[in-house]
């Protein structure tokens, strides 16, 4: 698949600041600069409360989407989650519908700029400038995700600065009597207004559409989304409080430029101009972020053959060139041919439907019990959060009226027609839901687990995984060979059993059975037998080098069953973990597999000197240091000292001591001796500090 080619991968160039800016910029637009006047007409001063309450129905969907994004950081978020959870039909509907909704939202933002643009430049050619802005956003997106993120960060930083001044000045000028009476239309009006303004928060999760281009997605995506959600809530509540508190009710009611009206009441024409600029920045950030996110849906669907292959083309700037051009053209078409101010509001109902679908996807992925579904962030209070997250958006859609329902059904119909007409015969996936059906005797989608394992390998280890400690303390067998596979298994099992206090026969049988059924990854002259055992105190690893290779077995299939290796096996990694740590076990296995896949692994493995050299091939070079202790060197200060008395950088520890041909796993009372060789593991910063103190090591 093209996506597997390194040249076809997207650039992971978005950090926390860019993620926060995209999520925030996609939220602070019409919901703040246009809707408050309309909301005030319905419910009066209680609209401040409505803006706070509007966040709550969407919170479960945001939490669920954060979980899915950290488990499957792939372009085209909703499409990918729905496809892998519920199958390609639902994925096609979600992908095309979300793309259309985002295009309409971007077009709506560009047209919405007109109301504020006319305040600054009466008689300005709004349509021409909207088209020019759309093209400019498309060019920025084509130039690269880093430049798009940088532009978004500047736009949002200036916008938040203006809004902070607006809130700080405005809250001091609020007239409390303007909040009386607070409830103008009663609780029914409050419920209806909550349903109307809740779409203001939908954009906060839009950033997951580019999760494949986010560095450290497991941490960055949830943190960026939650910071954006909190920021949006503070802006909405404080900003609407200022509007109610300083603008006369008759002027605020139905006003389409309420922020400018409030700014004018506070500071006159100059303040109006400044906040009008802020509005233009907000709408520009929505358009920029909208094209960024929307263009990733055709890319993701094309990778899976649900759209023509041209959409997955990655340009020399590592951006989806064709998808960006098509998305920008669609935005321009909506601006010039349609009335996006009406349709975009209806498209929000489809996005609410997807919020509910994300909650369904979390339930399906968890209940599928696929071990490689390994989100860095897990939604609390499962499954009750998801139940609320399914029901609340459906209620909000009903509150939006029958036209919103009809529009959503229309998008569903278009997606279904495209699937049956174009895509059905091109795909052979069924989604994780079939793993749930497996309990009822149905088949499963065998392609999903390997795909999720590939994603797990790309994400790497999680903070707290004891991989370095396990490698540093690993048992090592260095054999000349050729030697039979069964003998290697028995010898590795005996060493591990002595370490863990378990039955060696249980280990050897488990390793053999996993290899026979094809559960042992074998590639590039390496094999990774592995198993999990209930009640095991900790994970353990045995490294085996067979210089002349594992002897071929003459029996049919041999120990490898139906999966014989193509190359001579010279490296074997026997990993055993506790039964209750399946995800950690797979992450460590994926880390070893990733190292084996590196170019030059076989040469390094065969050339490594002794036990330490073999271990250090697996250790990440910026997280370990090997030092020989000798008099007359900087390490002399460590000799004859107990480990507990040493002052090592925080997070660093001496994982193993090599002494007189043996490897010792030390504890706090172990005394270091001259001639020892120690392996220290820790954070890159701590390891650098030790290298500066004692030398670069060996």
The chain-wide mean pLDDT, for the chain, equals 85
Q: What is the per-residue pLDDT for 5?
A: 46
CB neighbour list of residue 630: distance below 8 Å, 6 or more residues apart: 636, 674, 675
Q: For residues 85-90, give the mean pLDDT.
A: 88
Last residue of a domain, one of 367, 399, 425: 425
| Same-domain pairing of 530 and 515 | yes
CA gap 433, 512 in Å, rounded: 31
| Same-domain pairing of 596 and 626 | no
Residue 443: inside a domain: no
Count structural domains, the chain.
Answer: 3
What single DSSP character describes residue 220? H
| Same-domain pairing of 624 and 592 | no
| Same-domain pairing of 409 and 544 | no
| Same-domain pairing of 330 and 366 | yes
Question: pLDDT over 70 for what percent of the chain?
Answer: 92
Q: What is the CATH number of the domain that holds 638?
A: 3.30.70.1450
Return the minimum-mean-pLDDT range out of 109-118, 376-385, 458-467. Answer: 109-118
What single DSSP character describes residue 309? G
Residues 650-659: pLDDT tens digits? 878 888 888 8
Residue 433's pLDDT band, with cuts at 50, 70 and 90, is low
CB neighbour list of residue 116: distance below 8 Å, 6 or more residues apart: 33, 257, 260, 276, 279, 280, 283
Residue 191: inside a domain: yes
Q: Distance of alpha carbon 481 from its chain centroid, rounded?
A: 45
Count helices and strands (H / E) in the chain.
28, 12
What single DSSP character describes residue 445? -
Q: What is the per-residue pLDDT for 553?
A: 63
Residue 437: inside a domain: no
Q: Distance of alpha carbon 254 from its chain centroid, rounded?
A: 40
CA gap 299, 325 in Å, rounded: 12
Q: What is the per-residue pLDDT for 529?
A: 92
Residue 440's pLDDT band, with cuts at 50, 70 and 90, is very low
Residue 517: inside a domain: yes
Check pLDDT > 50 for residue 3. no
What single DSSP character describes residue 440? G
Check pLDDT > 50 for residue 679. yes
Q: What is the per-residue pLDDT for 619?
A: 79
| Same-domain pairing of 127 and 38 | yes
**DSSP structure string for 279-303:** HHHHHHHHHHHHHHHHTHHHHHHHH
Residue 211: inside a domain: yes
CA gap 570, 527 in Å, rounded: 8
Residue 115's pLDDT band, with cuts at 50, 70 and 90, is low
| Same-domain pairing of 140 and 164 | yes
Last residue of a domain, one of 369, 399, 425: 425
Q: What is the CATH number of the domain that holds 76?
A: 1.20.1740.10
Residue 244: closest CA among 55, 53, 43 = 43
| Same-domain pairing of 363 and 481 | no
Q: Residue 344 region, left (φ>0) first, then alpha (ψ -120 to 50), else beta?
A: alpha
Residues 122-173: pLDDT tens digits? 777 878 888 888 899 899 889 888 888 888 888 889 989 999 999 999 999 9
Residue 429's pLDDT band, with cuts at 50, 70 and 90, is low
Compute CA distances 58 → 25, 183, 393, whole Å: 18, 23, 7
Q: Note whether 363 and 432 are within 8 A (CB).
A: no
Phi, psi of 73 (to 5 degrees): -75, 85
Residues 30-84: pLDDT tens digits? 788 888 888 898 899 999 999 999 889 889 999 999 999 999 988 888 888 888 8
Residue 436's pLDDT band, with cuts at 50, 70 and 90, is low
Residue 230's pLDDT band, with cuts at 50, 70 and 90, is very high
Residues 581-614: pLDDT tens digits? 888 998 998 889 888 888 888 888 998 887 778 8
Check pLDDT > 60 for residue 555. no
Return the minimum-mean-pLDDT range out of 115-124, 175-184, 229-238, 559-568. Answer: 559-568
Residue 447: inside a domain: no
Residues 295-341: pLDDT tens digits? 999 999 999 899 999 998 888 888 899 999 999 999 999 888 877 66
Q: What is the per-residue pLDDT for 445?
A: 59
| Same-domain pairing of 241 and 266 | yes
Residue 446: inside a domain: no
CA gap 373, 362 in Å, rounded: 10
Q: What is the per-residue pLDDT for 332?
A: 92
Q: What is the per-residue pLDDT for 278?
A: 84
Question: pLDDT over 90 for what percent of the chain?
Answer: 30
571-578 and 530-533 strand pairing:
parallel
> What's the domain range around 13?
2-425
| Same-domain pairing of 299 and 358 | yes
Q: Note whether 656 and 664 are within 8 A (CB).
A: yes
| Same-domain pairing of 608 and 630 | no
Check pLDDT > 80 for residue 643. yes
Last residue of a domain, one of 400, 425, 450: 425
| Same-domain pairing of 362 and 501 | no
Q: What is the per-residue pLDDT for 342?
A: 66
Residue 698's pLDDT band, with cuts at 50, 70 and 90, is low
Residue 670: inside a domain: yes
Q: What is the per-residue pLDDT for 390?
A: 94
Q: Give the tokens for residue 117.
A: 């643009």
Phi, psi of 361 (to 5 degrees): -60, -40
CA gap 352, 333 in Å, rounded: 24
Q: For residues 652-681, give the mean pLDDT.
A: 84
540-546 and 653-659 strand pairing:
unpaired
Residue 62: closest CA among 224, 210, 196 = 224
Q: Give the tokens for residue 594.
A: 């990733």
Q: For residues 288-300, give the mean pLDDT.
A: 89
Q: What is the CATH number of the domain that holds 559?
A: 3.40.930.10
Q: What is the per-residue pLDDT for 170?
A: 92
């Amino acid at each position: 698949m093209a996506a597997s080619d390194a040249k076809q991968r997207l650039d992971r160039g978005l950090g926390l600041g860019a993620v926060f800016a995209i999520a925030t910029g996609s939220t602070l637009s019409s919901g703040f600069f246009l809707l408050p006047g309309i909301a005030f007409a319905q419910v009066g001063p209680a609209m401040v409360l409505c803006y706070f309450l509007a966040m709550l129905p969407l919170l479960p969907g945001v939490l669920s989407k954060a979980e899915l994004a950290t488990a499957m950081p792939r372009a085209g978020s909703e499409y990918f989650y729905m496809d892998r959870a519920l199958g390609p039909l639902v994925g096609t509907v979600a992908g095309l519908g979300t793309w259309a909704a985002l295009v309409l939202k971007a077009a709506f933002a560009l047209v919405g700029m007109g109301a504020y643009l006319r305040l600054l430049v009466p008689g300005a050619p709004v349509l021409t400038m909207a088209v020019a802005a759309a093209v400019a956003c498309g060019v920025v997106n084509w130039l690269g995700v880093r430049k798009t993120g940088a532009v978004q960060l500047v736009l949002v930083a200036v916008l938040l600065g203006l809004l902070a001044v607006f809130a700080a000045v405005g809250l001091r000028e609020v007239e409390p009597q303007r909040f009386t009476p607070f409830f103008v239309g009663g609780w029914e009006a409050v419920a209806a207004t909550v349903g109307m303004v809740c779409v203001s928060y939908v954009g906060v999760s839009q950033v997951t559409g580019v999760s494949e281009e986010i560095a450290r997605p497991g941490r960055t995506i949830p943190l960026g989304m939650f910071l954006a959600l909190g920021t949006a809530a503070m802006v909405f509540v404080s900003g609407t409080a200022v509007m109610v508190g300083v603008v006369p009710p008759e002027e605020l009611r139905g006003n389409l430029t309420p922020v400018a009206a409030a700014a004018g009441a506070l500071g006159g024409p100059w303040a109006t101009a400044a906040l009008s600029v802020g509005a233009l920045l907000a709408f520009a950030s929505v358009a920029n972020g909208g094209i960024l996110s929307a263009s990733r849906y055709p890319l993701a669907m094309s990778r899976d053959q649900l759209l023509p292959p041209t959409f997955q083309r990655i340009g020399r700037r590592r951006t989806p060139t064709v998808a960006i051009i098509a998305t920008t053209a669609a935005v321009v078409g909506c601006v010039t041919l349609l009335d996006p101010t009406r349709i975009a509001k209806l498209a929000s109902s489809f996005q609410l439907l997807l919020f509910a679908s994300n909650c369904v996807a979390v339930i399906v992925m968890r209940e599928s019990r696929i071990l490689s579904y390994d989100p860095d962030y897990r939604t609390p209070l499962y499954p009750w959060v998801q139940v609320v997250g399914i029901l609340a958006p459906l209620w909000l859609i009903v509150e939006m009226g029958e036209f919103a329902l009809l529009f959503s059904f229309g998008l569903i119909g278009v997606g279904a027609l495209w699937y049956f007409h174009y895509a059905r015969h091109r795909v052979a996936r069924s989604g994780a839901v079939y793993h749930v059906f497996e309990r009822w005797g149905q088949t499963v989608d065998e392609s999903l687990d390997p795909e999720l394992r590939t994603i797990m390998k790309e994400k790497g280890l999680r903070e707290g995984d004891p991989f370095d400690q396990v490698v540093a303390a690993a048992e090592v067998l260095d054999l000349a060979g050729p030697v039979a596979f069964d003998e290697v298994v028995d010898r590795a099992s005996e060493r591990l059993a002595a370490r863990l206090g378990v039955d060696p026969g249980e280990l050897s049988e488990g390793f053999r059975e996993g290899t026979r059924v094809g559960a042992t990854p074998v590639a590039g002259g390496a094999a990774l037998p592995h198993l999990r055992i209930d009640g095991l105190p900790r994970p353990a690893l045995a490294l085996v080098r067979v210089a002349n290779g594992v002897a071929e077995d003459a029996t049919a299939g041999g120990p490898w069953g139906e999966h014989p290796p193509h190359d001579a096996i010279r490296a074997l990694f026997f990993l055993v973990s506790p039964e209750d740590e399946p995800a950690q076990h797979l992450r460590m296995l994926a880390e070893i597999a990733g190292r084996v896949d590196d170019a030059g692994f076989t040469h390094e493995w065969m050339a490594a000197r002794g036990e330490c050299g073999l271990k250090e091939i697996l250790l990440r070079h910026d997280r370990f240091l090997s030092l020989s202790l000798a008099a007359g060197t900087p390490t002399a200060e460590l000799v004859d000292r107990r480990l507990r008395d040493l002052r090592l950088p925080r997070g660093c520890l001496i994982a193993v001591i090599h002494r007189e041909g043996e490897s010792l796993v030390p504890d706090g009372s172990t005394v270091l001796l001259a001639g020892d060789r120690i392996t220290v593991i820790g954070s890159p910063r701590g390891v650098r500090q030790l290298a500066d103190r004692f030398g670069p090591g060996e």
